[in-house]
A and B are shown apart, each in its own frame.
Chain A
Amino acid sequence: MFRQFLAIVLLVSITPFIDAQDKKETRVTWDDQVSAILKQRCATCHNVNKKSGGLDLSTYTNIMLGGASGDVIEIGAAADSYLFMLITHESEPFMPPNADPIPSPEIETIKKWIDAGAPENSGSKVMVPEKPKFEFKVSDNPSGKPTTPPMPGRIDKQPNVYSPKTAAVSAIATNPWSSLTAIAGQKKITLYDSNTLQIKGVLPYPEGIAYVLKFSRNGSLLLAGGGTSSSTGKVIVFNIANGERVFEIGDELDAVMGADISADQSLIALGGPSKLIRIFSTTDGSQLFEIKKHTEWITSMEFSPDGVLLATGDRNGGLHVWEAFTGREYLTLKGHSKRITGISWRADSNILATSSEDGSVRLWEMENGGQVKTWGAHSGGVSSLEFARDGRLVTCGRDRVTKVWDQAGSQQRAFTAFADIAMECSFCDETNRVIAGDWTGKINVWKADDGALIGELASNPQLLETRLATSTTALAAAQAKHKPLAENATKTKANMDLIKKNLATATLQMEAAKKTLATAEGQITTYDQSTKSLDANYKTLTALATKTAPVIPGLTESVAKAKAAAATNTDDKELEQLTAQLQTALTKRINDLKTTQSTAATTKAELTKSQQQLAAAQKLKIDSTTTMTNAQKAMDAIAATVKPAEEATATAAKLAAEAQAIVLASQQQVEYWNGEIAFSKQLGALHGKLDAAYETLANQHQTHGELGIKAKETQAVYNTANAKVTAADATVANTTKRVADVTATQATALKNQQTAEKSQTDAVTNSNNLKAAVAALGIAVSKANEAVTSTGGDKELKAAADVLKTLTGKKTAELTVAEKLIVTRKTELTVAQQTYAASQKAVIDAQSALAAAKKIQTEAIAARKAPEDALAKANAALAAAAKVVADSTAGIDQIHQQVVTLQTTK
């Protein structure tokens, strides 16, 4: 049974989007079609618990058991089946009561099913191969912190169903060891990173709405309990690493409202409107036990972190604690007066926190079940409660507020109120954030420390295509925004560059002017000096010349005089000398004067030059000063624009860079969503392939099974034929033996006949002899009698006659005996003859029987040939089918591997 279940689980787990109607029509069976119909239409009243009219239609066994009115199914005859008559409204009470008949396709299905012999399942004769079991019972440190934070790998982010609107938030869970958050929505569970608020994946939940979400204590699994109200209830366990379903538990008739998986992952408990707590084993999916104690709908439950206890609460405020592994009642906790909305254990399993629609939160110790603490948390009722790992509590309620408490019941923080009733809340231990959702479907994420609102999460994540479109639009917008900003940045930068260039030019000019000025000033100094010195020189020279010049005529006169004197006094040496001296002096003086005058002229020229130069320099100075002033002005002007330009440039650049970053980010987003879409498609394709492969496999299983049946049937035929041969062999052997036996019998009979003939002959002879003797003796007697008479009674004669008489009597008696013996012998002979005749016939019969047996034997051997061949063929086909199945299984494994590869490679 469990194998089939697993097979179904596996099938379901990978075919969540396939509508049942799309599947090709196969044989109608209880498991495949009928149970679903009856479950939907009838099981509200005819279920294990209610059994209206003594009838339970939820299991195959029980429908076959019938109800208070007897059998409800006549196998092979729908028209005679009570159930069928009632649902077709042929006879009363019409079913379902006070309603129209169920849709005719469903009636048709039920008809087909009953007419076909009401098979339980196609697999009842099908050999289902072993499926790889998922080992999710964790042996080491189940509740402890895992070595790596449990975050999903790459999971499909494409929502299986999208609803533009949101309904009330039905469940929120946060992973105990990572920032992973799970939000229940319509037919799906969405995973988010509570740190980045980014979507991490969508887990399809086509069963309906999850009313319970719980991460396993080690954070590796996500349990989702829920279903479709008044229709189906199931608990699904997902492996968050790859988003695959690892288990599917429960077959409730209404949505599951409370469920949990034990810390060691060996037990799953669930409950709901059936008022029953059902505990299942995860190792084989079987129900271990159910607890019938709650008097109202079970609304909440949780295993203690140590796995020892299970606390459950109901709609009436009933609260019980059970020994998890035995189902024995451990405590009944009395206090709440209305629906239990939250049950949460402190990490050490010593304290249990519960919340209720009565508005209170209660803490219970587990020694005696005493109330440790009680406080009114939310007026109107508490909707949800969770113990944080550090012992804080988070609650929310009908007052629309979400609150964090310490264990003493002191309110640490109240977050901004929602616009409607707050429905669910959870505390993310890893990020220290509180996540809560309200009746309208709004979900807020706050920092627990300061109550700051970080953002929102959605229970209806958008389709990837929408996200892509959005991010494409965003990209375009970003690009559009970026473009002018970039242009502006370029422009401002160019402007700034120009300004800077201008400034540089101006600076250069300034420098040049400065330099010129410096030069001019240097020149002025130089020229001033030189002018001054030259002027002085000139003046000196002029003065000298002026001084000298008057001397020269005198001197010249002197000389002339001297010369004249000398000429006169030629020999006057002294005079000559003097004259020479005078001449020299004059010459010298003239020369000097000339030199002086020349020098003066030169100096004058130089002075003039210098003066000109000075003037030029002074002009230059003035000019350069002007230039400088202008340059300074220009520089100042430019310099004033530099900073704004720089700032503008920086700003523009920053803006552009930011816009650029946004563009890049948008691009990344676009790429990301493109990638996700591609991934989703690939994954979808692979899943499609898997579905097809599984369907093929199922068909192959069916074929295999059918072949198996055929092989068995062929085997049976062969066995029959073979048995015939064996029987014929035996018959031949027996008959042969019989022939031998009757032949021996015949011989004996012949011998007996001969003996009898001889005995008869002997007897006749003996009789004849005796007859003769009697006749003789008779004569002798009569003679003797005559003699006696004639003798008148001679005593001796009389005695002799008596002797004779006696003898005759004796012989006569002997004759009688002998004659009797003849009859006997005759009879004996007849018997012997008959026996012999019979044995002769027996021999003939046996021989003909032998011949017949031999014929049968030959025929049987001939008849065995065909089944023998057929058997060989069937076995070959079966083996081939088995190989096909094995191949398909291998193929599936391969596709699985591909899925794994796809999910793990970037």
Chain B
Amino acid sequence: MTATLRYITCLALVISSTVISAAELTELHAYPSDIGLYNSRDRQTITVQAVFADGLTRDVTAEATITVADQNLIKLEGTTLAPTADGETTVSVAFGGKTLSLPVIIKDSAVTPELSFKLDIMPIFMKANCNTGSCHGAASGKDGFRLSLFGFDHAGDYQRVTREIGNRRINLAFPHESLMLTKATGAVPHTGGTRFRKDDSLYTLMHEWIDAGAVTDKTDIPTCTKIEVYPKSAVLDGQGATQKITVRAFYSNGTNRDVSHLAFFLSSNENSVIIDQDGTSTAQNRGEAFVMARFDTHTVGTHIIVLPKGLDFAWKEIPENNYVDTLLHEKFKKLRIIPSELCSDEEFLRRATLDITGRVPTVDEYNAFLADADPKKRDNLVDSLIGRKEFVELWVMKWAELLTIRTTNQISYKSMLLYYTWLQDKIANNVPMNVMVQDLLASNGGTFANAATNYYQNERDTLKVAENVAQVFMGMRIQCAQCHNHPFDRWTMDDYYSFAAFFSQIGRKSAEDPREIIVFNSGSGVVRHPVGNRVMEPKFLGGDTPDVQGKDRRQIMANWLASNENPYFARNLSNIVWAHFFGQGIINEVDDVRVSNPPVNVALLDTLASKFTEYNYDFKKIVRDICTSRAYQLSTGTNATNEKDTSNFSHAALRRMRAEIMLDAITQITSTSNKFPGLPNGARAVQIANGNTSTYFLTTFGRAKRETVCACEVKMEPNLSQALHMLNGDTVNSKIQQGKLIPTRLGEEVPIPQILEELYIRCLCRKPTEKELTNLVEIIAQEENKQQALEDTFWALLNSREFLFNH
């Protein structure tokens, strides 16, 4: 650093500290809190983070005073510790009057272990982006060289790097002329460009490894058991503020090391936080980002919030209906957001009725609710709605989607119907969700006799079954791990095949009725790992390896899966419920739970999950908690602090009605009926059992085909067909005609303003405004054909965004 630069830096520090000095230093963190140096290569960089009274944090590593107690043991190079002799000592970190003491243990400081391909070289491929799917990680490699995708097969990679094609890739005699290095540094043309430079530690590592003979790993090398990312969270003050992220890996032999130089960093939201590969995260625009480090098979992240510089913010006390509000408000305070106001009674009535029952409120309901003076009327409404059969029907539909209830070549109509009835029965009888899921997953017997077995008839591929179970009941897409370790999650191929092993012993045989299949526990069959062809023992995803000897593997899996031992089950179901009422999950998408897609509010999700467990998996109670929370009752309007918030539920979201509900609403509003195959006339679209049954309207508006378990099956994206169908199609117009509402009212000689009022309440759950009413009355008065005019108004209302969206 030149003198000038130092001067500038000092100035900058002075300036920044003068600004910061406004808030008092409340906490000082130094990472890692305990340090272990286990060989002469081992280094550990210390990161110091100051937390101020206003919640802001700052990386004060450069300003903190770091002193080593016993300087014979450690050499301090900047903020990095290097071992010199074995022993134990402490490092003290002082800043702003606070001091922390970090214990340090130094072992084998004279031992320089030889570099390991798996531990030291494989991370380079990840760090330098060599083994991604678009590069050498592609199934057929790139430009003649293949690496395993995200490094799932280190033995194979070792072979390919060293021995696949003579001495092309590495040169033991002249390591620096190895193609691995000349390509990566751009010394020779490389389609992938320069990946690192000669002065990078990655270069040094690989060079040293080749120089040492590119030897294969010993069999007893430790494995990385977990990684930690520091700091655990940060709130950065304004664009340009930086926070250094460090990564520490823990190994099965009890050692750990600083792997910041080998970890691959990525940010979930580059609009707010960017991170470069040396681990420096830099604040951009206001918002939050999950900054992740990937090392070995582990991805761990840290939450970083970016606030505008010098934001003037004062939290005002806002009533909290229940824990949902408490937890959300805590987050709002951190983000410096003030939630929107409560919505009106009209809005709430429509929102709750649509969300809970899939219907629009009737005129009577509207009048009754508005007339109700009970301060608890909103809670009462929620309770009454939850008690309605439509509530059950709505959730049966949602579950039917998750269980892909539909007729297929394998599943007869009868089977399907039995399956649907089974589901309806469970939900209608308020069977606890865990019991229902356990019954489902452990089901044995004929698909007629025990319709739950249809689950295994629907999908017969062992791996797919495992994937579906993970996706539906744990919200995880583990498909990636079938072919390679999940790049952005913790799941490895081992995890995948171990989990799939639970489904390796599903027996299927024909019953008397050719349409029926009997599902049973065959007691034999294994799943093999494609790399090495190992037989995989069943292991819970992220859990233990249970004893399955002589037992029904699915039963064991089901008992674990739908229980509080499985940290994902309750969370996932709570999240699905939440998403239904807020338009997006606390983890969004709901079936995309992964390390790199963290919940926007961990505490909230955790609490919901624990409540759900507490409620004995009665999801009606969770629904009640959610719907009676203040958060659910917020207006869609925004204020200055939350106008840009789209993920923290600080205001209500506009949500288009889904296909079935919209059709039912139009039907209900126009006083008409529909006839769907297999259902009586007047049945609601929500009640359709078969995923294969659809109408043009439903298909256009994105009804789930139930072909897959993906939450993306229900399509909410707008398209031109939808608009045209609403405007010109045979649904709205015909139904207005069929329902004969207008002629009836005209025949009843109801005054036009009153007809208009009814139309507004029917469609929008509100009365027309003065201006609307005046204008409409005036226009209609000019029209000779009053019926036509009123029907046009009706049509216009049904085509209005206010109708199409739940708000």
Contacts and interface: CB of A to CB of B under 8 A. Distances in A.
Interface in B172-216: 172-174, 177, 179, 182-183, 186, 188-194, 213
Given A44-B191, A230-B179, 6 more contacts: A97-B193, A99-B190, A170-B166, A170-B167, A230-B183, A230-B189
A229 B172 contact: no
B179 A229 contact: yes
B163 A439 contact: yes
12 contacts: A41-B189, A96-B186, A99-B186, A99-B194, A163-B173, A167-B170, A168-B167, A211-B166, A228-B177, A229-B188, A230-B190, A296-B144
B172 A440 contact: yes
Interface of B: 144, 162-163, 165-168, 170-174, 177, 179, 182-183, 186, 188-194, 213
A311 interface: no
Contacts of A186: 171, 173-174, 177
Contacts of B167: 167-168, 170, 209, 423, 439
With a 10 A CB-CB cut-off, give which of B167, B182, B192, B194 has the most chain A CB atoms.
B167
B182 A230 contact: yes
Contacts of B173: 163, 165-167, 185-186, 441, 460
Contacts of B166: 168, 170, 211, 423
A297 B166 CA distance: 14
A229 B177 CA distance: 9
Contacts of B189: 40-45, 96, 230-231, 253
B194 A167 contact: no
A577 B182 CA distance: 158
A161 to B, nearest CB: 8
7 A-B pairs with least C-beta separation? A98-B193, A44-B189, A99-B193, A168-B167, A167-B173, A163-B173, A230-B188
Nearest to B189: A44
Nearest to B192: A98
Contact of B174 (A163, A231, A296, A423): A163
A101 to B, nearest CB: 11
Given A167-B171, A170-B166, A273 B144 contact: yes
Nearest to B163: A421
Given A165-B172, A167-B173, A423-B166, A228 B194 contact: no
A100 interface: yes
A99 B162 CA distance: 26
Given A230-B183, A297-B144, A44 B190 contact: yes
Among A44, A168, A170, A440, which residue has the most Cβ atoms of chain B within 10 A?
A: A168
B212 to A, nearest CB: 10
Contacts, number: 84
A255 interface: yes
A563 interface: no
B172 A441 contact: yes
A214 interface: no
Interface string A42-71: 111100000000000000000000000000
A835 B191 CA distance: 88
A315 interface: yes
A168 B182 contact: no
A100 B168 contact: no
Nearest to A398: B163
A779 B671 CA distance: 143
Counting chain B CB atoms within 10 Å of each CB, the highest count among A229, A255, A273 belongs to A229
A185 B190 CA distance: 25
A507 B213 CA distance: 73
Interface in A237-282: 253, 255, 273
Residue from A228, A398, A440 having most chain B Cβ neighbours under 10 A:
A228
Contact of A100 (B165, B194, B213): B194
Interface of B is mostly: loop
Contacts of A231: 182, 188-189
A99 B182 CA distance: 14
Interface of A: 40-45, 96-100, 163, 165-168, 170, 185-186, 208-209, 211, 228-231, 253, 255, 273, 296-297, 315, 339, 398, 421, 423, 439-441, 460
Task: Tell me which of B183, B188, B189 has the highest count of chain A C-beta atoms within 10 A of its own C-beta.
Answer: B189
B722 to A, nearest CB: 39
Contacts of B179: 229-230
B101 to A, nearest CB: 44
Contacts of A43: 189
Most chain B CB neighbours (cut-off 10 Å) among A165, A208, A460: A165
A209 B170 CA distance: 12
Contacts of B162: 439
Given A209-B167, A228-B188, A230-B182, A166 B193 contact: no
Nearest to B185: A99
A460 B162 CA distance: 20
Could you say which of A100, A185, A230, A273 has the most chain B C-beta atoms within 10 Å of its C-beta?
Answer: A230
A475 to B, nearest CB: 30
Contacts of A208: 177
A315 B144 contact: yes
A691 B190 CA distance: 34
B631 to A, nearest CB: 45
A166 B172 contact: yes
Nearest to A439: B163
Nearest to B193: A98
Contact of B172 (A45, A168, A228): A168
Contacts of A421: 163
A229 B168 contact: yes
A168 B163 CA distance: 9
Contacts of B171: 167, 186, 209
A253 B189 CA distance: 9
Contacts of B144: 273, 296-297, 315
Contacts of A398: 163
A187 to B, nearest CB: 8
B365 to A, nearest CB: 61
Contacts of B192: 98
A273 B193 CA distance: 19
A316 B192 CA distance: 24
B163 A167 contact: no
Contacts of B194: 98-100
A472 B164 CA distance: 43
Contacts of B182: 229-231
Nearest to B171: A167
Contacts of B213: 440
A228 B192 CA distance: 19
A231 B190 CA distance: 10
Contacts of A339: 165
Contacts of B165: 315, 339
B602 to A, nearest CB: 37
B570 to A, nearest CB: 45
A706 B625 CA distance: 95
Contacts of A167: 167, 170-174
B227 to A, nearest CB: 28
Contacts of B177: 186, 208, 228
Nearest to B191: A44
B159 to A, nearest CB: 10
B206 to A, nearest CB: 16
Contacts of A170: 166-167
A229 B171 CA distance: 11
Contacts of A163: 173-174
Contacts of A423: 166-167
A163 B193 CA distance: 29
Contacts of A229: 168, 179, 182, 188
A141 B156 CA distance: 50
B243 to A, nearest CB: 27
A122 to B, nearest CB: 27
A235 to B, nearest CB: 17
Nearest to B183: A230
Contacts of A297: 144
A209 B173 CA distance: 11
A209 B189 CA distance: 18
A100 B168 CA distance: 25
